[in-house]
Chains A and B, each alone.
Chain A
Amino acid sequence: MRIHLPNSAFLGNIDPFLREFDTSEPDKLEITANKKWISVHPVVLSMVAALGQTVKPSNISCERLEATSKHYLERMGLFKFLGIKSAITITEHESAGRFIPITQINDSSALTRFITEMTPLLHLEPRHAEPIRYIVSELVRNVLEHASAKQGAVLSAQYFQKSNTIRIGIADTGVGIKQTISNAYPVKNDLEAIQLALTPGVTGTTRREGGTEYNAGAGLFFIKSIANVNRDFFMIYSGRAMYKLLKRKPNSKIKLFADPFNDRHSKEENLPFWQGTVVGIDISLDATREFSALLDLIKDTYTKAVKERKKAKYKKARFI
């Protein structure tokens, strides 16, 4: 495999980075980078780290980095995580208030511990901490419960002062959304599987309305809704498909949709195959709407979706 860290790859412009990812020779990982400047979303680092977990450290090679911003990769713990030497020396700074380095989460109790430690690490006010810990909990639990990923979830996050935004990236190398959703729904391709996974009340564990005792099929819908209401990017990539929620236009009326294809979005369905699932999200701290107000909007859409699905199954009168 070969992955190139570009000059810039954030959720708004991540598509070229995803298209360039080379999946050949899956037992090797070659990392190359822009020579001048590397400025990337944490989701990019989570992806590289997750890929690195699938090959032996001796089969990972990273070209000598020249970009002046190369220290960022070291500080985020990329080389340590991959078990390779970077030849980059940095003065370690106190991480509080700035970022969460690449972290692997393998089980439920590790997640609970991580969330407890994460909030003070990011120095968040309670109103900002609430949606962020909510998002991390739901996304990582999705990996732990559905991905069958040996390495669990690989997560990193960073605060970007200029945009006053927290950016979070979570990657796994598990079975992917199509296989999970296929347990309950017939799906033709990865994009359709992502569409279903984002639809409220749809879970790969059952087709029954209301889900199982453990899964309601609402986690991703809630997260997409948080991003939508706050006018933030949200991206999900699995198999060959990628769905990206685009920012709502300024001053546009907030409207949540059960079908993610009705939101302002972009999509790709012929990307290099990602074995597993990748999720990236931005949370703008300027725009963070009160979580409680957001729940009112979610409630209406969520229950309306169930009603409509139930209504679609009603038997019709037969007239002769």
Chain B
Amino acid sequence: MNLDKVISGFFFILAMTINFGFFYGDIGNPELHSVYELFAALVVSLISTVLKIGDKTQLGAVLLATSLVADIQLIGAVTVWTVTEYLSIVDVEAFAAIISLSGGALLANITSVILYIGETLKSKR
């Protein structure tokens, strides 16, 4: 067992699950989406991005790309949240944008986890 693999696998999957946790729930209802979860999703996603750096194979490059997509979507969600809150224009449309951005990030995270699992299954050791 390789400790590096455990840690990176942990963060890849955690990024996906936390993202899902934030995304799950009625898209128009802010009470069902915790800001702490969004924060955690962003941090874990950033960590998993850094963990993916340095793998020069084709698959490593795709993994890194999906992770970068998730980061950008989550940063977008956070930015929208901050801007709307401080400009006091919290409405259903803005909130829906935040949730759908995190939904996009969730898709990227799912892709990345599928690729990761695929690679693990392929490996003969």
Asked whether A and B interact, the reply is no
